[in-house]
Amino acid sequence: MVTGDFHGLKFATGSVDCVYTNCLDHAPELEKVLAEVRRVLKSGGIFICDIVYGYDEGYAVGPHDTMHWAKAQDFAKPMASISGFQIDSFRDLAPHGSSFWTQCVMCEI
């Protein structure tokens, strides 16, 4: 296991095939996190993020959330634009035991 700050990943530039996170709603500086993801991914790498549902989907903001959105898929679209990725797919995680989550897979444009 690797611990650290997702605003400054401990991996070399272009060194990983895939980055996964489920905590973007806790990121104080989303743009910085996305820049780090982009930096460490190899060419052709993928970014997988589990995104908690938004308030229009029945999720209530928690005490440690730094941001919130109306719908998970609506949050993914500007996130892809900021990071320079394109959205490949979405998957509802409720059938897999995560009742308030959507998974988004992104790749390079």
* Model confidence pLDDT, tens digit, residues 4-63: 888 999 999 999 999 999 988 888 899 999 999 999 999 999 999 999 999 999 988 888
Average pLDDT over residues 68-78: 91
Q: How far apart are alpha carbons 72 and 81 in whole angstroms?
A: 15
Domain architecture of the chain: domains with CATH: 16-108 (3.40.50.150)
Taking every pair of Cα atoms in the chain, the longest distance, rounded to a whole number of angstroms, is: 39
Q: For tokens 């995104």, what's the residue?
A: 51
Express the helix, strand and coil content of the chain in percent, nearest 5 each: 30, 30, 40
Which token pair is 12? Answer: 């070399």
- Decide if 43 contacts 14 (C-beta within 8 A): yes
pLDDT single digits (tens) 41-55: 999 999 999 999 999
Token pair for 34: 């996305």
> What's the pLDDT at 62?
83
Q: How far apart are CA 84 and CA 31, in angstroms?
A: 11
